[in-house]
Chain A
């Protein structure tokens, strides 16, 4: 596997990690409840 491909795959792994962390964070926030929003970062609610 070339270095070029390895760098690309590392970036992909970073993106997956970001999405998973974000999903976990949002799930925790929703579980905590309260009167706030639903984790929509399109409208900041």
Chain B
């Protein structure tokens, strides 16, 4: 078995295989997008890429190049699951992926000392290497100048200065990748102290016996000194742990701390290299980022600014979206009415008008809110403010027993819990990671937005509170805060009970503030809108059609002497959905809900926004065709003539959706990320059960307390 053979020769038609690696937040994904023309998500903070993403491009002379974007890693001494992925791919140990023929290392020109640690490790893997010296513009602003030709001489690999966000240096980089494939692999550029080399010699020889190329064996033997765990790609080598222990003992015997040997050797070499290649102009004034951080990270001003930013986001979701939402609603109802007018009275007309248009239309109208939310998330991510938010939250996170790194997955959960849970791969400690996985779905994701918006728009008046914030925006902000604060409280409980362990400090890199790239922002919002519409046109459409059938059949023998609305109500009660709703009504009655809300809650186990489309279908089948869903909800009365929906019921329902885990994809990703096997099913079960109990209990409490305070409900 050859683990680290040199680059393989490729056939004329096969693409050249390139892996991109680098420290977190060096612009790897921006570079990947610039090379391939793809539109992977980018953010101005560490930990955006936690999975492998593949793309391809052609050079100007027609050569095909396949590119693999690996998660950010500070070193190859992989500590967290995402770093393990990178190491396995580079060593050709990842069965799901090809081994690269060239490695493109992206280094941040502003932080060369830290970035060159990983680069120096990669240079010893026996693979040709190209270095993209990225963000040279930001380095220049900080007064940093790099002597690129001298750095090429020192490292022995091609180096191309780039500004990936502006597409600068991309063509020379493509040519450098092609050239590197024809060059021999680089090798270690520094010598270890004789006593270290002597202690490592038996270990290195053993790795070479196991098929490692000499260069890679030297890198692995040095790396293993500071790795204190079993690594999957070395598990097959019998007795390796004993040999590593032997090397460590030998080093201790000569007065060296084994876990520091690699860092000392590499950083000593890097220090020398940078002394010869890097000049730094002394800063005579604070940078723009420094001045902004004086406010954004202030002990009191920081949290206040954070709250103001969040309030602005949620108020905008209402204020800016309303005219667009009204226009879409009018268009959907107009088209639905026109199409319905073309069809004769009967089941097909009812299916189209009450099923398709009422169901899908009730969800599609929230497109402006989705676009605005993701535009804001994009601005906050790309500007670098998200990293400040994580910094502000670090003290809170430590107080609840979570690692500061947990806040980034939690923030990702505002968009969707699935990437949020996947982003926990950056967390090294398994208990920290599991506690974070358990609480990420409590962050209000974009699927809850249609539910909140429907209920707030229908039952919460737009009373002005302070300039720029009314009661609707404040209610939305309250729902998001409720989810976030509960997530912290639940995490604290997990960390003090089932997932007890020490709290580790976090080292967080604060990137400089950057103006968001408008194109990238527009592309990201457009992608989200496309996904939302595609989902509405496929899953929501199909579910609406099925729910229409369940709300329509079997046909009842209705009393023709009754008014039309009563006849429709009679038919609905006789349908499958009506009978099912009546059967489950006792379970939701303590929360103040009728059977229609109960059915909509059950249907939304498929996906949260299905709550809205189910309401649309039920009220479409059982009510007037031409009224908007919010008007129908406001007009709904029970048998005694009392309103079914009151502001109290609406708040209780929103609180239910803040807490309930109603997303099959989230359950699936928890099963996979919580360690695999039966244990992870157990954790997914615990997560689903505690969130459902929390949702039911909190909604009940809202009703009871609200009634005690004199609110109708």
Contacts and interface: CB of A to CB of B under 8 A. Distances in A.
Interface of A: 2, 4-5, 7-9, 11-12, 15-16, 18-19, 22, 26, 30, 33-45
B346 A4 contact: yes
A4 B85 CA distance: 56
B348 A8 contact: yes
B629 to A, nearest CB: 21
A12 B545 contact: yes
Contact of A37 (B344, B539, B669): B669
Contacts of A19: 539, 542-543, 546
B188 interface: no
Given A15-B545, A19-B546, A45 B422 contact: yes
- Among B85, B446, B542, B549, which residue has the most Cβ atoms of chain A within 10 A? B542
* A-B pairs with lowest CB-CB distance, top 7: A38-B669, A40-B665, A43-B416, A15-B545, A4-B346, A15-B542, A8-B347
Contacts of B422: 37, 45
A39 to B, nearest CB: 6
Nearest to A16: B546
Interface string B38-60: 00000000000001100000000
A4 B344 contact: yes
Interface in B437-489: 446-447
Interface string B641-680: 0000000000000000000000101101101100000000
- Among A9, A11, A33, which residue has the most Cβ atoms of chain B within 10 A? A11
Nearest to B549: A12
Contact of A42 (B51, B535, B549): B535
Contacts of B274: none
A38 B665 contact: yes
Nearest to B667: A38
15 contacts: A7-B348, A8-B351, A11-B351, A11-B545, A12-B545, A16-B546, A33-B672, A35-B96, A37-B669, A39-B665, A40-B418, A41-B531, A41-B539, A42-B532, A42-B607
Contacts of A26: 668
- Among A7, A18, A33, A43, which residue has the most Cβ atoms of chain B within 10 A? A43
Contact of A36 (B51, B535, B546, B549): B51
Contacts of A4: 344, 346-349
A35 B663 CA distance: 20
Contact of B541 (A15, A34, A38, A45): A15
B534 interface: yes
A11 B552 CA distance: 14
Contacts of A5: 346-348
A41 B538 CA distance: 10
Contacts of B344: 4
A43 B549 CA distance: 29
B52 to A, nearest CB: 6
Contact of B52 (A15, A35, A39, A42): A35
Given A35-B85, A38-B668, A43 B543 contact: no
A29 B311 CA distance: 39
Given A12-B549, A43-B416, A38 B447 contact: no
Nearest to A36: B51
Given A38-B666, A41-B534, 5 more contacts: A15-B541, A30-B668, A41-B535, A43-B419, A45-B665
Contacts of A11: 351, 545
A38 B545 contact: no
Interface string B510-541: 00000000000000000110011011001101
B410 to A, nearest CB: 16
B87 interface: no
A42 B446 contact: yes
Nearest to A23: B664
Contacts of A39: 665, 668
- Among B446, B534, B546, B665, which residue has the most Cβ atoms of chain A within 10 A? B665
B160 interface: no
A5 B343 CA distance: 13
Contacts of B65: none
B415 interface: yes
Interface in B664-702: 665-666, 668-669, 671-672
A9 B465 CA distance: 51
Contacts of B549: 8-9, 12
A7 B348 CA distance: 7
Given A4-B346, A15-B542, A38-B668, A43 B415 contact: yes
Given A11-B545, A36-B51, A42 B416 contact: yes
A23 B538 CA distance: 13
Contact of A38 (B446, B531, B672): B672
Interface in B254-297: none
Interface in B83-136: 85, 96
A30 to B, nearest CB: 5
Interface string B65-77: 0000000000000
Contacts of A12: 351, 545-546, 548-549
A19 B422 CA distance: 26
A41 to B, nearest CB: 6
Contacts of B346: 2, 4-5
Nearest to B534: A41
Contacts of A30: 668, 671-672
A10 to B, nearest CB: 10
Contacts of B348: 4-5, 7-8
Interface in B538-563: 538-539, 541-543, 545-546, 548-549
A40 B446 CA distance: 12
A9 B545 CA distance: 10
Contacts of A35: 51-52, 85, 96
A25 B471 CA distance: 44
A24 to B, nearest CB: 13
A8 B355 CA distance: 11
Interface string B186-208: 00000000000000000000000
Contacts of A34: 96
A1 B382 CA distance: 59
A39 B347 CA distance: 34
